[in-house]
Structure 1
Amino acid sequence: MGRRRAAADSRRDAEFAAFTAGAGGRLLHSATLLTGDPAEAERLLTVVLARVYADWFRMRAEDPYEQARSELVRRFHHRPWWRRPRGGDLDRLTGQERLVVTLRFFEGVAEEQTAAQLGLPADRVRAICARATATLRSRPAPAPAASVTEARTTAAQQRAARPRNTHGGRADAPSGTDAGTPGTDGGDATRDPAVAAPVGARRQGSHRYEGTP
């Protein structure tokens, strides 16, 4: 009996290790989308995987990934109300909206299955998904404007920092040393495309989050 139990435990350990190696990264990504915090996501996933490991023998032919995902959703869904998720790619969404967006778009769960897992009507899930998508596609709210006093102080500091030329000429272009003047020792700088090109024409590549799941 002991040898049979030991063999079963060894088989479970090997199967569970293979499962976590293949699905752990995706589950961690889902947990990070939900919590918005990588450290909190790791703690949540650790609890989830511990539960899956304990129930491994009882799952039988069930998909362990679906069991892990259901446990992840359940634990996040029933967290204390004051632990509102913040940060991450879905920072502008509520906890319920995070759940719907993560399940529907990242995990690819059908609308009916998502509704059943969250205990909501299908049309309610559809409405939450539409609202969350509109929020992600819209521009973030502008930062609050500075007070009048702060704006005046900043403007005064900028004026004080400007260089002044007591001779009435340009402070940024000393006489006789304009690099763009032909015939000087530096030559005609306008012949150099890197110098002559307008600032707006020298674009640099950028990457931004589109906000659409």
Structure 2
Amino acid sequence: MRERREDRDRGRAREFEAFAAGAAGRLLHAAVLLTAEPSTAAPRAERLLTAALARTYAEWDLLRGEDPYDRARQALALCFVRGAWRVHWERLSPPRPAAGPGAVGVLGALGPQERLVLVLRLYEGLTDRQTASLIGLPEDRVRAICARGVAAMRRGRVSHARR
């Protein structure tokens, strides 16, 4: 009985390692986009990825045919949201971009909610409905946030090009 459990645990670990080897790169890139850190040094993004993969591993046996990448993406988004709110509540001030002082690129100028919606919609390719379901907002709100974020990115690109 004990040997059977150990074999099952080893098999589970091998399955997860194979999944993580294939998905970690894309998930890390999504985390880097969410945190707006430089890809060469992204400690917050790495912590987000680690937390998301740990949560996915903890729930591995509960997947039952569900796509593990969807679960990991959901965990990544949840970890990002929790971190963004923690920054907000600790400072007791209006929410500021969770990227912090080292934020780079046009995503760095966006707030955490806009970044999250844009990453899920544009990088991950989720629909408005899927994004709304994942982050718990109405679909029309997701559409508005996405439009506002894209407009802000376009303004950022234009102002950088003129310099």
Q: TM-score, normalised by structure 1?
A: 0.63
Superposed, 1:11-90 pairs within 5 Å as: 11-37=11-37, 38-79=42-83, 80=86, 81=88, 82=91, 84-86=98-100, 87-89=103-105, 90=107
Q: TM-score, normalised by structure 2?
A: 0.82
Tell me the number of residue pairs that the alignment of Structure 1 and Structure 2 aligns.
Answer: 144
Which is higher, the Rg of structure 1 or of structure 2?
A: 1
Relative contact order: is structure 1 or structure 2 higher (C-alpha 8 Å, sep ≥ 6)?
2
User: Which residue does the alignment assign to 1:6?
Assistant: 6
Superposed, 1:81-100 pairs within 5 Å as: 81=88, 82=91, 84-86=98-100, 87-89=103-105, 90-100=107-117
DSSP-derived class of the 1:60 partner:
coil
Deviation at 1:93, TM superposition (A): 0.7
- Identity across the alignment (%): 49
Distance 2:157 2:28 in 1: 27
Superposed, 1:125-136 pairs within 5 Å as: 125-136=142-153
DSSP-derived class of the 1:138 partner:
helix
Distance 1:119 1:20 in 2: 26
Distance 1:59 1:139 in 2: 41
Deviation at 1:23, TM superposition (A): 0.5
Distance 2:156 2:14 in 1: 48
Which stretches in structure 2 are left out of the alignment for 5+ residues? none
Letter in 2 for 1:85: A
Deviation at 1:78, TM superposition (A): 2.0
State the superposition RMSD in angstroms: 2.0
Which stretches in structure 1 are left out of the alignment for 5+ residues? 143-207
The equivalent position to 1:107 in structure 2, one of 124, 128, 132, is 124
